[in-house]
């Protein structure tokens, strides 16, 4: 066992005791984490792949990537509690592995040695005292009734020994009681805070983040990957009523976290999917998916299947296939569609008009696709209403006529809920509220999109139900994760005064 101490910034790591010390506060870790941290401390600033860590730390044992990732995550969580390194000193090197990003100072285990030396000196002193007392006893003349006296002395010694043990036990019990009392009196606030934080975690709330590797420079690829991710998230919500927190500050009550890393390695594009449960503190999924534009739909299906399995959601494969069936089957049309979705859902992508061009190009390739027909209508109509120049009634009428010409084909067997959204929007633009309501009622609650919620809000306003309208607008905001949704909400179909909602959210009216 390594008897040295390792100083990492203001942390002290003692491998022999499986202990990390920060400001006199000890954190005991298990052998798995201790062995990993010891190896990294012995090789600071050196990068090791997962396979190298398995060979060096776990002696080549058969382990999944999830075990390595979970161990790294737990170490980071402990080490970054000093709030002096954003990644807990253990950083990920893209394409290569992990390394300890810190100077390590090796110290002799002097404190333990001094304690041991002191214990040894005390032991020697006790032995010398005992030896002296023994010699003194030998010099005392023994009485004539030695056997009887010896028995009485042994009995008295046993009584004293029993009393001593009893007194020692009572003292120990008293100390433990006082320590417990001190803990409960001293730290009720911190314990209550910890309890409140854990009990407030919501299993149905998921923090979603997308991280783009600095090596990924192709905007087209990034749009495709972001589009694929958002398509995956929509399909996930179709199967379970999760609230996804994306494009905004992570929710402190989220019971789950989903992270998507967009990577580029050796000229190949990957999406690394991580699902971490904040309640159990366990990484349930950590898998990399190759992004091949010819097999894009298959990749999305694999990601969705694995994620549902990791979330313990049993969904028949037929249901998964059905959720993805609305997408174009032509690889080129699908690629263009994913680019368009990527632009729409990426707040950092300012070229929103580009999405309209991409949707139209995809529709030109696959003109009978219900999803593309509906999306082209919805997107073009939305842009008309949010235009600074005002609504162009001729263009609006032309769009409505084009969609109405395909009504029988689309509504005889709708292949996408977007069809009902499109005809609900058309009905609202022509003041046909009854038909709009019929189409919106056909969209299942779990399959409602931001547009579904906005259309429901507009419909509620036409009936004078401002309370329901406000609730729908608020849901749309949370579902989109961006206040920019209000730009559409205010002007779509007719003007809506959202100043009260904005005021409640602390936004400028």
Query: Distance between CA atoms of 394 and 380, rounded to whole angstroms?
Result: 13
Residue 208 pairs with which residues in a beta bridge? 258
Contacts of residue 458, defined as CB under 8 A and 6 or more positions apart, other chains included, come to 428, 469, 492, 493, 494, 496
Structure token digits, residue 359: 């949707």
Comparing C-alpha atoms, which of 378, 335, 317, 332 is closest to residue 228? 335
Residue 455 pLDDT: 95
Distances (CA, A) of 2 to 39, 118, 159: 11, 22, 45
Q: What are phi and psi of 25, to 5 degrees?
A: -105, 125
CA dist 229 and 332 (Å) reads 18
- Among the four given CATH numbers 3.30.930.10, 3.30.530.50, 3.40.50.300, 3.40.50.11830, the one describing domain 198-325: 3.40.50.11830
Q: Is the pTM of this model over 0.75?
A: no
In which residue ranges of the chain is pLDDT below 70?
Answer: 1-2, 60-65, 109-199, 215-217, 247-248, 347-351, 508-509
Q: Which pLDDT belongs to residue 155?
A: 52
Which residues of the chain form CATH 1.10.10.10?
Answer: 5-107
Helix, strand, coil shares of the chain as percentages rounded to 5? 60, 15, 25
Are 223 and 349 contacting, i.e. CB atoms less than 8 angstroms apart? Answer: yes
pLDDT of residue 428: 94
5-107 maps to which CATH number? 1.10.10.10
Dihedral of the alpha carbons of 234, 238, 242, 248, in degrees to the nearest 10? 20
Q: pLDDT at position 249, please?
A: 74
The per-residue pLDDT for 217 is 62
C-beta of residue 358 within 8 angstroms of C-beta of residue 336: yes
CATH 1.25.40.10 domain position(s) in the chain: 368-509
Cβ-count burial 124-155 (b if 16+ within 10 Å, e if not): eeeeeeeeeeeeeeeeeeeeeeeeeeeeeeee
pLDDT value, residue 220 = 78
Q: How far apart are CA 203 and CA 217, in angstroms?
A: 35
What separation in angstroms does the CA of 164 have from each of 2, 109, 122, 157?
39, 35, 20, 10
pLDDT score for 453: 92
Q: What is the pLDDT of residue 429?
A: 92
CATH 3.40.50.11830-classified regions of the chain: 198-325
As a CATH number, domain 368-509 is 1.25.40.10
pLDDT per position as a tens digit, 318-341: 877 877 888 998 999 999 999 898
pLDDT at 73: 86
Condensed to tens digits (0 to 9), the pLDDT of residues 249-266 reads: 788 888 899 999 888 888
Helix or strand (DSSP H, E) at 430: none
Predicted pLDDT at 113: 44
Q: What is the pLDDT of residue 191?
A: 44
Short-list 390, 373, 378, 350, CA closest to 494: 390
Rounded Cα–Cα distance for residues 200 and 194 (Å): 10
Q: If residue 134 lies in a helix (H) or strand (E), which one and from where to where?
A: helix 110-139
**Predicted local confidence at residue 393, as pLDDT:** 87
CA separation for the pair 143, 397 (Å, rounded) = 127
Q: Which of 418, 387, 392 is nearest to 403 (CA)?
A: 418
Alpha carbon distance 331, 352 (integer Å): 23
| pLDDT for residue 77 | 86
Distance of alpha carbon 72 from alpha carbon 317, whole angstroms = 34
């Amino acid at each position: 066992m390594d008897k040295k101490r390792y100083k990492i910034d203001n942390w002290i790591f003692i491998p022999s005791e499986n202990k990390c010390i920060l400001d006199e506060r000890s954190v005991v870790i298990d052998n798995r984490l201790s062995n990993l941290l010891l190896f990294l401390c012995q090789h600071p600033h050196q990068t090791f792949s997962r396979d190298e860590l398995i060979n060096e730390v776990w002696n080549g044992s058969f382990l999944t990537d999830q075990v390595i990732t979970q161990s790294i995550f737990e170490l980071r969580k402990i080490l970054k509690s000093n709030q002096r390194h954003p990644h807990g000193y253990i950083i990920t090197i893209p394409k290569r592995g992990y390394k300890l990003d810190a100077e390590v100072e090796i110290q002799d285990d002097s404190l333990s040695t001094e304690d041991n030396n002191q214990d040894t000196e005390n032991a020697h002193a006790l032995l010398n005292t005992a030896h002296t007392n023994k010699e003194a006893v030998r010099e005392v003349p023994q009485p004539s009734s030695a056997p009887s006296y010896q028995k009485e002395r042994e009995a008295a010694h046993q009584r004293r020994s029993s009393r001593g043990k009893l007194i020692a036990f009572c003292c120990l019990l008293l100390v433990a009681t006082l320590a417990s009392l001190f803990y409960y009196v001293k730290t009720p606030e911190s314990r209550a805070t910890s309890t409140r934080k854990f009990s407030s975690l919501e299993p149905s709330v998921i923090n979603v983040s997308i991280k783009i590797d600095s090596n990924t420079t192709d905007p087209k690829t990034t749009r495709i990957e972001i589009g694929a991710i958002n398509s995956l998230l929509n399909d996930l919500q179709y199967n379970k009523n999760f609230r996804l927190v994306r494009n905004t500050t992570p929710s402190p009550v989220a019971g789950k976290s989903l992270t998507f890393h967009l990577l580029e390695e050796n000229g190949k594009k990957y999406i690394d999917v991580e699902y971490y449960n904040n309640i159990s503190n366990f990484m349930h999924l950590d898998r990399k998916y190759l992004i091949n534009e010819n097999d894009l739909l298959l990749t999305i299906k694999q990601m969705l299947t694995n994620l549902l399995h990791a979330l313990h959601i049993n969904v028949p494969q037929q249901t998964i296939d059905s959720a993805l069936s609305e997408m174009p089957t032509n690889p080129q049309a699908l690629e263009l569609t994913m680019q368009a979705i990527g632009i729409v859902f990426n707040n950092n992508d300012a070229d929103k008009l580009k999405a309209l061009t991409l949707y139209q190009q995809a529709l030109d390739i696959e003109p009978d696709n219900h999803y593309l027909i509906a999306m082209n209508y919805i997107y073009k109509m939305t842009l008309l209403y949010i235009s600074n120049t005002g609504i162009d009634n001729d263009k609006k009428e032309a769009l409505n006529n084009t969609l109405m010409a395909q009504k029988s084909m689309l509504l005889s067997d709708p292949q996408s809920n977007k069809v009902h959204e499109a005809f609900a929007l058309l009905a609202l633009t022509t003041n046909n509220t009854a038909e709009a309501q019929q189409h919106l009622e056909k969209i299942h609650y779990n399959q409602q999109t931001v547009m579904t919620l906005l259309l429901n809000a507009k419909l509620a306003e036409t009936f004078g139900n401002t309370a329901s309208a406000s609730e729908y607008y608020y849901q749309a905001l949370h579902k989109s994760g961006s206040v920019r949704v209000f730009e559409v909400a205010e002007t779509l179909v007719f003007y809506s005064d959202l100043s009260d909602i904005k005021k409640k959210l602390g936004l400028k009216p």
